[in-house]
């Protein structure tokens, strides 16, 4: 309602606004002789559901909360497995646990795999794109005349 009052007020660029105006009297000197085209922009038809927002929808918020809870649960179980000795876990009837070697290997394996991926991707790009710009005949584009 406030936007409509603002748009209908006379101080908006001497009658120009984002909405199409209905002029009932075509002989009036203030009425333009040409028809004002309908603007694709309208302040009155946009609902709040159509406006994109960075805030999560309720469904995404629930999935995010569940993933957050599972992440905390996984981290706590990993730390318990890491710090509690195996005989204590066996006395609690937890017998199926991986070897403690994996407690050291997994945190070291992640940065090694990332570095290996970067190295292999760089080598692949170097091999595939080697010599592409050496000859001007090789540089082509889709905008040439046939």
- pLDDT, one tens digit per residue, over 80-131 is 999 999 999 999 998 888 898 988 898 899 999 999 999 999 999 998 888 7
pTM of the model: 0.45
Q: Which residue has the tokens 């406030």?
A: 2
Least confident of 22-31, 49-58, 106-115: 22-31
Which tokens is 116 given? 């290996």
Q: Which of helix, strand or coil describes residue 107?
A: helix
Q: Give 61-70 contacts, CB < 8 A, sequence gap 24+.
A: none
- Cα-Cα-Cα-Cα torsion 49, 54, 60, 66, nearest 10 degrees, comes to -150
Question: Average pLDDT of 24-48?
Answer: 54
Among candidates 31, 37, 38, 39, which has minimal Cα distance to 14? 31
Contact 103, 83 (CB under 8 A): no
- What is the pLDDT at residue 33? 52
DSSP 101: H
């Amino acid at each position: 309602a406030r936007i409509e009052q603002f748009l209908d007020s006379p101080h908006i660029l001497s009658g120009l606004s984002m909405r199409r105006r209905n002029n009932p009297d075509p002989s009036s000197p203030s009425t333009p002789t040409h028809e004002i085209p309908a603007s694709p922009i309208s302040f009155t038809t946009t609902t709040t559901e159509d406006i994109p927002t960075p805030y999560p929808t309720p469904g995404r918020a629930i999935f995010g909360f569940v993933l957050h809870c599972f992440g905390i649960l996984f981290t706590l179980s990993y730390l318990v497995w890491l710090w509690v000795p195996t005989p204590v876990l066996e006395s609690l009837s937890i017998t199926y646990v991986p070897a403690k070697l994996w407690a050291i290997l997994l945190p070291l394996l992640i940065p090694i795999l990332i570095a290996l991926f970067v190295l292999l991707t760089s080598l692949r790009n170097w091999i595939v794109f080697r010599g592409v710009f050496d000859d001007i005949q090789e540089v082509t584009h889709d905008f040439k005349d046939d």
